[in-house]
A and B are shown apart, each in its own frame.
Chain A
Amino acid sequence: MRTGIMRAGTRALIVGLGSLAVLIGLAQVAVSAGWISRFILPAPTEIWTAMLELFAEEHPLQAAIATVGRTLSAIGLAIAIGVPCGWALWRYRTAGRAYEGWLGALFASPKLLLYPLFLVMMGRGFGTLLVMGWLTAVIPIVLKTREGLVSVPPVLIRVGRSFNLTDRQMLWKILLPSAAPVIFTGIRLSVIYTLIAIIALEFLLNLGGLGGLVDNLYDRYDIPGTYAAIVLVLILSIVYFRIVERIQAWLRSS
């Protein structure tokens, strides 16, 4: 049964990659024959040449590292501030009930559109990028930390009390370990949304990284280069989310 599923999966993969290859081939024919303008869709061979040029001249790997580095700094900052805030919302219940709905609404709101406000306050630079990334990352972490602490079984807390644990011991030995899976769900959400926000802002504000690279090439009207850079963004996002999935699976199993 298992091998049957695997075989079906492999067959799907082969058909998928095969149809992608056919599609690329068709695009090549359509562009060379002039059915599609080269200025709208460059021939795949042209994109490939542009990709090689990109690697020779534009340092896309450094750009990708910059993008990921900014994303991880925003997430790190969000964990450092968000977990204590989530704890405070759990500890002070009135505050938790007062702000939880607001945070949920902010999470669902189109936060990305707030960036002109930060542009005015902080200028077009790394600060705006970091604050916007942080704002995206912090909300799910605060909400899920509170949710995780609320769901700690009262029995565990009573056990801690009966051992006369101090508040600090209680936090590190009982509350955080028990809430950890839910907190990780929050971190996972923030990991997903923050990369999207950072790349989008790099592109919108031309602030370096892979997003900024796409914008630069488009500004020069280098269409094959733009396509190549977009392919790199897609590869980065696929690899990034694969790694996130792996880490999640590893955390779950351990």
Chain B
Amino acid sequence: MAEVELAMRIRKSGETRLRPETRLQIATVAGVWILWEALAWSGLFYRDIVPSSFKVIVAMGRLLATGAFYGHLGTTAYEVLVGFAIGAAAGVLLGILFGARPFLGRVMNGYILALAPAPKVIFLPVLMTAFGIGVGSKIAMAALSAFFPTVLSTAAGMALINPTLIKVGHSFNATAVQMVTRIYLPALVLPVISGLRLGLGVAIVGTLIAEIKLSNAGLGFIAIQYYERFRIPEMYAVIVIIFMLAAAANWLMTRLSDRLGRHGMPSSAEISGAA
């Protein structure tokens, strides 16, 4: 199978030259890079305001060679993942609850819709007074950020569940736990995954913003520390790493939802097996 694919790819590349848009993309990258280097070496800017990409790469290499970097990476990953897990779990459970109890859903809907688009960073002072400036407030920030997309997406998914499925569950006298694991969750896989993808994205932003604002560890902390010491190539290196990690997280979640989408919804047995 793989060999056939490879052979086809080789034949294709032999037959056609690079597509025009690919050539334009390559030209754009090259053009922007040359312009950037020209600006960096022109001396028009105060030193390192536009750092040469070589300096950034060297800085990145040095950064990745230090042990301290992995400590900060670990702190950020811990904050994002724990906060995301808390916010996502609360979002899924409350989303199911609001969907299963329409009146409660209607009561809460106004509050959630009012809070969902508000900038969550603004709660940072509250979270810092409650949980301190360390890891606690960052976890809380990630949880708060992840909660809203998850609960909205889950509740929207609940509204789309075929009512017959729910009636079948009730007529079998399913318990609340059975209703959740056998009826709701299997039908909710796709909306929940898409909510989780958005939630993970905003949890990453929330955590890093909180670290940049006030903290003593994490990738956001070292980025802003380099800024304050005017070590700009190092600051660029940290930001590039943050963007690559965020892109990787997004890619993983997209792949997960594509896989589940392509193979249709997994059976309830698979779900309860996974849980």
A contact residues vs B (CB 8 Å cutoff) = 8-9, 11-13, 15-16, 19-20, 39-41, 94-95, 97-99, 102, 105, 108-110, 112-114, 116-117, 119-121, 192, 195-197, 199-200, 203-204, 211, 214-215, 217-218, 223, 226-227, 230, 233-234, 237-238, 241
Contact B119 A233 (CB under 8 A): yes
Interface stretch (choices B3-11, B184-192, B203-211)? B203-211
Contact B205 A230 (CB under 8 A): no
List the B side residues contacting A200 at CB < 8 Å. 119, 121-122, 209
Contact A98 B21 (CB under 8 A): yes
Q: A8-B103, A110-B205, A230-B126 are in contact. Are A203 and B121 (CB under 8 A)?
A: yes
Most chain A CB atoms below 10 A, which of B129, B205, B213, B247 = B129
List the B side residues contacting A192 at CB < 8 Å. 117
Contact A214 B122 (CB under 8 A): yes
The CA-CA distance from A95 to B27 in the complex, in Å, is: 11
Q: A16-B108, A110-B208, A114-B239 are in contact. Are A94 and B21 (CB under 8 A)?
A: yes
Contact B24 A95 (CB under 8 A): yes
What is the 8 Å Cβ interface bit string for chain B, positions 91-110, against chain A (1 contact, 0 not)?
00000000000010011111
Range of interface residues on B (Cβ < 8 Å) = 35 or more
List the B side residues contacting A108 at CB < 8 Å. 201, 250
Contact A199 B239 (CB under 8 A): no
List the B side residues contacting A8 at CB < 8 Å. 103, 106
What is the 8 Å Cβ interface bit string for chain B, positions 65-103, against chain A (1 contact, 0 not)?
000000000000000000000000000000000000001
The CA-CA distance from A116 to B223 in the complex, in Å, is: 8
The CA-CA distance from A227 to B235 in the complex, in Å, is: 33
Interface pairs (9), CB distance under 8 Å: A11-B103, A94-B20, A113-B220, A116-B223, A117-B239, A119-B227, A121-B50, A203-B119, A203-B124
The CA-CA distance from A204 to B246 in the complex, in Å, is: 21
Q: A8-B103, A13-B110, A94-B20 are in contact. Are A234 and B115 (CB under 8 A)?
A: yes
Contact B106 A9 (CB under 8 A): yes
Main secondary structure of the interface of B (DSSP, over half): helix
Chain B, 181-227, CB within 8 A of any chain A CB: 201, 204-205, 208-209, 212-213, 220, 223-224, 227
List the B side residues contacting A99 at CB < 8 Å. 25, 28
The CA-CA distance from A234 to B118 in the complex, in Å, is: 6
Contact A234 B125 (CB under 8 A): no
User: Lowest 6 CB-CB distances: which A-B pairs, in order?
Assistant: A12-B106, A218-B125, A98-B21, A97-B21, A98-B24, A237-B118
Q: A109-B243, A117-B239 are in contact. Are A199 and B204 (CB under 8 A)?
A: no
Chain B residue at minimum C-beta to C-beta distance from A39: B129
List the B side residues contacting A196 at CB < 8 Å. 117-119
State whether the Cβ of B165 lies closer than 8 Å to any Cβ in chain A. Answer: no
- Residue among B24, B107, B242 making CB contact with A12, cutoff 8 Å: B107
The CA-CA distance from A54 to B109 in the complex, in Å, is: 30
List the B side residues contacting A119 at CB < 8 Å. 227
Chain A residue at minimum C-beta to C-beta distance from B118: A237
Chain B residue at minimum C-beta to C-beta distance from A95: B24
- Residue among B24, B110, B126, B128 making CB contact with A16, cutoff 8 Å: B110
Q: A94-B24, A121-B50 are in contact. Are A237 and B224 (CB under 8 A)?
A: no
The CA-CA distance from A218 to B137 in the complex, in Å, is: 15
Chain A residue at minimum C-beta to C-beta distance from B122: A233
Given A120-B235, A199-B122, A237-B118: 14 more A-B contacts, CB < 8 Å: A8-B103, A19-B107, A94-B21, A108-B250, A109-B243, A110-B246, A113-B205, A117-B236, A119-B227, A120-B227, A196-B117, A203-B119, A203-B124, A241-B117
